[in-house]
Structure 1
Amino acid sequence: MTAEARRTILVVEDEPLINQMVTDRLRAEGHDVVQAHDGPGAVVAFEEHDPDLVVLDLMLPGFDGLEVCRRVQALRPVPVLMLTARDDETDVLVGLGVGADDYVTKPFRQRELVARVHALLRRVDRAAELAAEAAPTRTVGSLAVDGATRRVRVDGADVHLTPLEFDLLTALAAEPGSVRSREELMQEVWGWSDASGTRTLDSHVKALRAKIGADRVRTVHGVGYALEER
């Protein structure tokens, strides 16, 4: 590896071939990789090895990936890349709701998975840098976004957002009323230079709307999204 630092990654997948394939590729990228093959084993491995990122299959023996995600996020916030057997919007939204940051649908290309892993790790590094110079509170109508405490209030009530949902809202709140293109948002929030062919942004926008109000985020078809004052 050159630009990327060596990290510890936990791969949780019950299919031995896929688990080993992902493990070998991430080790080839220079990472330390820990393997788990079921829900309980994943939580134990997380506690023992304190990974920097988790690649997590949704369907697991013992208990599923959603429960794994809930338990590890309760222990310590960590970026999670979820593997789904199908591109089911309900599964994806539930996964994002319990703390997953991104998802890849099987079958996936190794190159795509590695790119997603590195993008998530870069996002964590950027978030740490930004925390040192915390942004002031931004108020858009009855919505308040506090960059220092990473808290959000809607109509005076606290709203819990995942780290990625908060980063997405912060990017939109930086220019309220202005349309932010898909490319700008994917680059700023996820660190991707190419957002073509992915529904990750759309899924996160839908999850964000469910928490702050559907009419606060306006879709501009073919362009991107804007945060509206109300």
Structure 2
Amino acid sequence: MDKETILVVDDEKEIRDLIGIYLDNDGYKVIKASNGLEALNVLEKEDVDLILLDIMMPNMDGMEACMKIRQDKNMPIIMLSAKSEDMDKIMGLTTGADDYVTKPFNPLELLARVKSQLRRYTKLNVKTEKSDSIIEIGDLTIDVNSHEVRVGDREVKLTPREFDILFLLARNRGMVFSIEKIYETIWKEEFFESDNTVMVHIRKIREKLESDSRKPQYIKTVWGVGYKIEN
């Protein structure tokens, strides 16, 4: 079985090396880059399964790099940052990241996040029975096998987290999911009331799916309760 490849992007060599040691010891192939430009160059030549992406870097920071990566790639991206403010977290998630880890971090916790993201990403790309692999809701088509989403003839690029949320709601059409339930189902972590993560992701999904995200056709808000996709 081929090793899964992790791209570690950080301008601090000590951090790149530390992360690299833990990933290597756990059986991953590690590629390192010191800024966003180097990371983009790596992605042109290498198949990467997950990216650990620092935010504050010279030449091209993590936010800009994440947006460029998301133009045509959907592997999981975990942002790394010394900033812990909610706005920095939201900005990272808005640009297409799937998770966010604040420095200084416990390397074992980071490793656990990496494994969780890879499991989720792999599961979504595993072949399933054809009858279960396609969900159609009006013009919206979700293909679980290929991890593709289309609205009519238009392909919609979603991050793995965004795909998870859309798939959760689509396969449970008519059921209302609270923000807490969505978070704990997708992130597998305890929800904290002040966390805006789910709302940020829902907004991004709507912006990508809808011609007018202010009048959502697919993901409906049930005020005071949560979100649903209707039959």
Name the amino acid aligned to 2:142. G
Instruction: Return closer, same or farther for 1:125/1:228 CA change in 2, 3 Å cut-off.
Output: closer
Instruction: Return closer, same or farther for 1:159/1:78 CA change in 2, 3 Å cut-off.
Output: closer
TM-score (norm 1): 0.74
Match of 1:147 in 2: 142
Name the amino acid aligned to 1:146. T
> 3-state DSSP class of the match of 1:137?
strand
Q: Shift of the alpha carbon at 1:23?
A: 1.3
Q: Select the residue among 30, 33, 40 that pairs with 1:43.
A: 40
Match of 2:103 in 1: 106
**1:54 and 2:51 equivalent?**
yes
Match of 2:4 in 1: 7
Alignment of 1:150-189 (within 5 A): 150-152=149-151, 161-180=158-177, 185=182, 189=186
Q: Shift of the alpha carbon at 1:226?
A: 3.0
RMSD after superposition? 3.4
Maintained 8 Å contact 2:179/2:227: no
1:167-210: CA deviation from partner (whole Å, max 9, x where unpaired): 202212332442436676457545x3x44567644542454466
Maintained 8 Å contact 1:102/1:200: no
Instruction: Return closer, same or farther for 1:64/1:125 CA change in 2, 3 Å cut-off.
Output: same
> 3-state DSSP class of the match of 1:117?
helix
Measured in 2, the distance between the counterparts of 1:117 and 1:50 equals: 17
Measured in 2, the distance between the counterparts of 1:94 and 1:132 equals: 37
Alignment of 1:12-161 (within 5 A): 12-74=9-71, 76-129=73-126, 133=130, 134-139=133-138, 145-148=140-143, 149-152=148-151, 161=158
Instruction: Return closer, same or farther for 1:33/1:40 CA change in 2, 3 Å cut-off.
Output: same
Name the amino acid aligned to 2:149. R
Structure 1 gap segments, 5+ residues each: none
Maintained 8 Å contact 2:66/2:96: yes
1:104-131: CA deviation from partner (whole Å, max 9, x where unpaired): 1222222221121111111221111257
Measured in 2, the distance between the counterparts of 1:128 and 1:54 equals: 17
TM-score (norm 2): 0.74
